[in-house]
Structure formats: structure tokens, C-alpha cells
Amino acid sequence: MIRASRRHRSCRAVCLAAALLALDASRLSAQTPTEAPPHFRKLAHTYSIVAWDSATGDLGVVVQSKFPNVGGIVPWARAGVGAVATQSLSNTAYGEGGVDLMAGGATAEEALRAVMRSDTMLQDRQVGMVDARGNAASFSGANTFDWSGGRVGASGGRGSVAGGKGAVLVGRTFSAQGNIIVSERTVRNLAETFERTRGGLADRLVAALKAGQAGGGDKRGMQSASLLVVRKNGGYLGANDRFIDIRVYDASDPIAELERLLALHKLHFFPSERQDLAPITPAIVAQLEPILLAEPADQADKWLSRTQGSANQAFLEALRNFMYWENYDVRVRMDGKIDRVVLQDILAKRRSGR
């Protein structure tokens, strides 16, 4: 049994080494400038948290930076495989290569150490990884700007393991990291808030990001943010794995804008919750029928041609067509019920004249 286990580990090590070679070394070297700019004044210094949700299997990354469109650089994830945040002198090959290695069976730590071995500017990098089994790893290079460091969830399931520059941190569930931040408090807030917050992965990640900013955040201020959560068949109508993919390219308060866009995303892309469904009563018909009789405003043919007075077939068909027109696609029903969240949004928009 012991010899078999050793053979298995040996085979796994060989396979991982082969996988690393197959990544194509040019992907890593292409990310290495021949001459570093005057110590990265224009590069993505930021703070982020990468995490795995044990209840759903979701994987995600949330990030904020004083850098435009940080979402196009830092976050990488693949459903059922893993997630990566690559920052400081960001090397996007860490994202692609790290995810590929985890897809081949590597743990987060193994994938991290593998991509680190081929990086000629390793000490300028900062990266966090988590795999679909909940393993997490983080690294902050010695040349990253202060304050720089990270935290990973403790292996025992409570608390976190902290570390500064030069160390690979290994743990469970999440990896939080930041550089050019005011103090270690930002990363501590990320970790502690993520651990104690309840709800879906996206809500926990955004709560952690807000707490990180409250702890000081990026020394240079705020500019962009991004939230990426992947789930198998969790995308639009189940056709892909991009459960949530939101990027705030440039904003005075990117975290507030990220929150607003997440609420909008939930409205238009999340299916109805059972507790939000209500029978379409005559009172609800009376609220919706004037809208269906008057809209679309710029077209002669309206959703309803005459008053129905009840949730009959004609009314339900008109409501269905209206809801598709208004992009409530995933919440359309034909069973005599309506989602209260959608109803509130419909009425609120018309009260405000939107």
C-alpha cells in the first residue's frame, strides 16, 4: 500500500511537470518586459480575494484597484477547476497557466509553485489561487510595494494564516492579498469579513471587498473593480459557466458601482426564488394592466388591445411578451404567478419615469 502510494505521488509529479512544459514557456516569457518600467508606476497594484464555496462549488474572484479595468487583468476562473488573482506586476499567464494546471489535477499550491518556477520576474508578482477542492495558496514577491502580503483560510476551518513578502501561504477556502495598500488591516478585513459573512459567494466576496476598503485600501485611491463567479451551467439560461461577470472600468467609487451592478445582474440573470412568487391577484392586474395597454410607447400595437380585468390567458401572454421586452427573461412565468422583485422593479421604474 505504501509503495503504491509512492508510485502514485511520483506519477503525479511527473504528470504535473509535463503539464507545466505543455503550458508553452512563451506564455510566461511574453509577460516579462525586457526592461521593467520605473518601478511599476503604471501597473495593477490592488487588493483581492479568491474563494471557493463549499455549499455550491462556486469559484470566484473580487478585486479593486487604482488602475483602470482591473477586471481585464487580475481575475481568472473556470467552473469545477479553480480561480486565480494575478496582480502587482500582473502576469496573466499565471491566470491561464494556473487554471490549466488545476484542470489537470494540480492543487492550488502545486499550480502556484509550478508557474512560479518559470517566471524570471517572480519577486515582482503577487498571486492568489484556489482550486475546486477548496485548497488555497498565495504568494507576494519581495519586490512588491508596501504594504504587501496575504492571508489564506486556516486548514482547521477557522481563522486565517497571514504572511508577508517572499512566502507561499497554503490553506483552505480562500486567499486574500494586496499590495501598495495602507496597512495589513485591508487584507485582514478581507479575510475576517469573508469568513463571517453568510449568503452566496458573490455577496460574501463583495462584503469582503467593502471591508478591505474600510481598512485603508489602495494607498493611491480607487478606480476600478471586478467580480467574477463561475458555476457549471450557471450563465445565461444555463448556456455557459459565467454565473457573474461584472467589470467596473473606471468610477469614482467602483465598489458602490459594483454593488449596484450586482443587484442589476441578480434581477436580470438570477431565476425567481420560491418565496418571491405571488399569485397575480385582481389588485396586481389593476397595477399592471395600464402599463400593458400603454406600452410599447413608440409602437401602435400595444401589449394589450383592451382591458381584461383578470389574469386570463390574454393577460398572461401580454405580460410574458412585456417581460421579455424588458429583459426579465429568466423570471418569465405562465402559471398565474409573478415575481414580487420584478413587480416592484416594474412599478418603481414607471414611478421614477425611467
The dihedral region occupied by 240, where left means phi > 0, alpha psi between -120 and 50, and beta the remainder, is beta
Among residues 243, 269, 295, which one ends one of the domains?
A: 269
> 263 φ, ψ to 5°?
-60, -40
Which pLDDT band, with edges at 50, 70 and 90, does 73 fall under? very high
Tell me the percentage of the chain whose pLDDT exceeds 70: 86
Which pLDDT band, with edges at 50, 70 and 90, does 90 fall under? confident
Looking at the fold, whether 149 and 213 belong to one and the same domain comes out as: yes
Output the nine-digit C-alpha cell for 304.
394589450
Looking at the fold, whether 139 and 199 belong to one and the same domain comes out as: yes
pLDDT, tens digit, 9 for 90 and up, residues 195-245: 999 999 999 999 999 999 888 766 677 899 999 999 999 988 888 999 999
Mean pLDDT across the stretch 41-60?
A: 84
Q: Is the pLDDT of residue 86 over 70?
A: yes
Q: Does residue 282 have a cis bond before it (omega within 30 degrees)? A: no
Instruction: Tell me if 335 sits within 8 A of 319, measured CB to CB.
Output: no
pLDDT at 211: 94
| Residue 267 identity (one-letter amino acid) | L
pLDDT at 222: 87
Per the prediction, the chain carries an average pLDDT of 88
Domains: count for the chain: 2
Q: Kindly state the DSSP code that residue 55 receives in the 8-state scheme.
A: T
pLDDT at 45: 58
Identify the bridge partners of residue 140 per DSSP, sorted by sequence position.
Answer: 126
**Domain CATH code at residue 249:** 3.60.20.10
Looking at the fold, whether 261 and 282 belong to one and the same domain comes out as: no
Looking at the fold, whether 321 and 343 belong to one and the same domain comes out as: yes
pLDDT at 67: 87
Looking up cell 495602507 gives 182
Among residues 254, 269, 284, which one ends one of the domains?
A: 269
pLDDT at 12: 53
Which residue segment(s) compose the domain that 310 sits in? 274-351
pLDDT at 173: 97
With a CB cutoff of 8 Å and minimum separation 6, the contacts of 315 are 280, 285, 289, 292, 304, 308
